[in-house]
Structure 1
Amino acid sequence: MSGSNIRRTPLERIEYAIIVSTLLLLVVITVQPILNLLAVSLSDPKQVPGMGGLTVVPRGFSLDVWSLLIQNPNVLRGLGNSAFITIVGTLLSVIFTAMMAWGLSRPKLPGRRILFVMVLITIVFEPGMIPDFFVNKRLGLINTYWSLIFFKLVNAWYLIILIRFFEEVPEELLEAAELDGANAFQIFFKVVLPLAKPALATITLFYLVFRWNEFFRAMLYLNDQSMWPLQLVLRQFVVEGDKLAMVGVQNMNNYTGASQIDMRALKAGIILLTIAPVLLIYPLILKFFTKGTMSGALKG
């Protein structure tokens, strides 16, 4: 029976209407601030001061804000730094998390329970900021991207997600691969990982968001402003209100059209720029969330 032919009782219809209305309200609450930022950044600079927080339609049309951001060396440099930290950090995190999770998911691993308890301890007891700083200083990681990339290279929570997922991989598939002459690395990369696409997509998204939003450690360990990720550039613009840094010049009046751009529009543009990559990547990864463990095996 198709969904359109399902008959609901009056009570079920009321419940359905309440659920749909609630979800629509949540969507509006979530999307409205983003649309407001977009409207402000695309509006005529002269019209921005009169725009309210609920406005979602641009007043006039101007690309001055985005033109200014694209030409800004600070923004472009920060975007490149964030991209490097995010891509390299996520790639290494996913690889090491997957390898460690596969090892801990094997019942015959010597000392498996002790290792798993040690992983759980890292969730409860995290190192303090001062010991962490001295470790990074002794390793020579201060003012390097690696001080950010190596931090939580393997997240314990994401590790547990993969461990539980790998434990569901049928032993028959592994035995069949062994009979075909596959070694341990071939089994892991050609059999296990294709089956783990949903779980890998999940932790990849988590790591992407975590790496992209890197802020606090960058503020502590990166002394060179040319190495700042986009989040620190955003702080300089939005929190400190540094409009000169926003346009990347020493004298605002020497930059054609910059003095006419409202600071609120500049803030809206840089905020959108920082959240846009995550919003664009999420739909690409979402399709893996609904797939089961055996989807890859059935294709074979």
Structure 2
Amino acid sequence: MARQNRTGLERMEEAIIASVLIALVIVTVQPILNLLAISLSDPANVPGMGGLTIVPDGFSIDIWALLAQHPAVQRGLMNSLLITVVGTALNLVCTALMAWPLSRKKLPFRRTIFILVLITIVFEPGIIPDYFVMRRLGLLDDYAAVILYKLVNAWYLIILIRFFEEVPEELIEAAELDGANPFQVFWKVVLPLAKPALATITLFYVVYHWNDFLRPMIYFNDQDMWPLQVVLRQFVVVGDKAAIVGLQAMNSYEGASQIDFKAFRAGMILFTMLPVLAIYPLILKFFTKGTMSGALK
């Protein structure tokens, strides 16, 4: 009887947890579905659509066709890809190269260096000092101003240090006995074992670079260098309705004159979200792999 009662209680707990999780999923996904419905609806029906609608009213790809042809969106997409790809690659290389020696207990002044890293977390400079530094370095209107900022994030560095500390010394010693030099040990032994941690910080760095709009907006006076997030702000926050006027003059799309700014804004928001949503499933598979996966092969 006690076992049956306990089983019934466990089932009730599972049902409550499942209900809460389903409710959270609905609350999270509903705004995205609403934007998708608005962007795919017939432009003539968009003004009457509310914030809870998740089914398109009619069907039209006018918004997506116009976004694909907009020169500011095209430039913003290429700028965002450049900043994100180059920035993330440099972040990973520099973070890994710094984390590995700091994970070795025999490193001279290891504790001092680690304290200096922690200080950068507590006493982070503001945007105004950053701006003056970039101006003195001559990096205004230069992609390096946003790519090189936080080349090594202290939080992500700590994550990687803790992960590297779990690599057994036996594996390193075995590689050294086989004649591997320190670089080969790092490249062929340590990094393959660190795929879950590298995937984690890769996702963090990608999201940071892709979503960053404040620094590009401040450092880039040339609008041709604006990433997609700054273009999004121009359309959504500032309300630059001239974007649609420019589209109507630029292309001969028959539905251009009927485009509603509400639908254009919904499509633009989704357009900036799609790359991150697409890359997440590719990185997710590494989260399920353990540190020692394949270590003894």
**TM-score normalized by structure 1?**
0.94
Q: Choose the corresponding residue for 1:48, options 37, 43, 46.
A: 46
SS state of the match for residue 293, structure 1?
coil
Gaps of 5+ in 2: none
Q: How much has 1:258 moved relative to structure 2?
A: 2.4
Q: Choose the corresponding residue for 1:128, options 126, 129, 138.
A: 126
Q: How much has 1:122 moved relative to structure 2?
A: 0.3
Equivalent residue for 1:160? 158
Question: Considering only aligned residues, what root-mean-square deviation do their CA atoms show, in Å?
Answer: 1.8
1:247–1:149: structure 2 CA closer, same or farther, 3 Å change rule?
farther
1:158–1:247: structure 2 CA closer, same or farther, 3 Å change rule?
farther
- The range that moved more, 242-251 or 182-191, is 242-251
Equivalent residue for 1:145? 143
SS state of the match for residue 143, structure 1?
coil
Q: How much has 1:52 moved relative to structure 2?
A: 1.2
1:11–1:111: structure 2 CA closer, same or farther, 3 Å change rule?
same
Equivalent residue for 1:99? 97
Q: Choose the corresponding residue for 1:36, options 22, 34, 38.
A: 34
Q: Deviations over 1:36-57 (max 9, x none)?
A: 1111001000011111111111
**TM-score normalized by structure 2?**
0.95
Equivalent residue for 2:176? 178
Q: How much has 1:257 moved relative to structure 2?
A: 3.1
Q: How much has 1:209 moved relative to structure 2?
A: 0.2
Q: Choose the corresponding residue for 1:61, options 59, 65, 77.
A: 59
- The range that moved more, 257-266 or 201-210, is 257-266
Structural mapping, 1:1-300, within 5 Å: 9-246=7-244, 248-249=246-247, 256-298=254-296, 300=297
In 2, are the aligned partners of 1:234 and 1:271 still within 8 Å (CA)? yes
AA aligned to 1:132 is: D
The whole-number CA distance in structure 1 between the counterparts of 2:185 and 2:289 is 21
SS state of the match for residue 286, structure 2?
coil
AA aligned to 2:118 is: L
SS state of the match for residue 294, structure 1?
coil
Q: How much has 1:129 moved relative to structure 2?
A: 2.2
Q: What percent of counterpart residues are identical?
A: 72
The whole-number CA distance in structure 1 between the counterparts of 2:258 and 2:9 is 57
AA aligned to 2:206 is: L
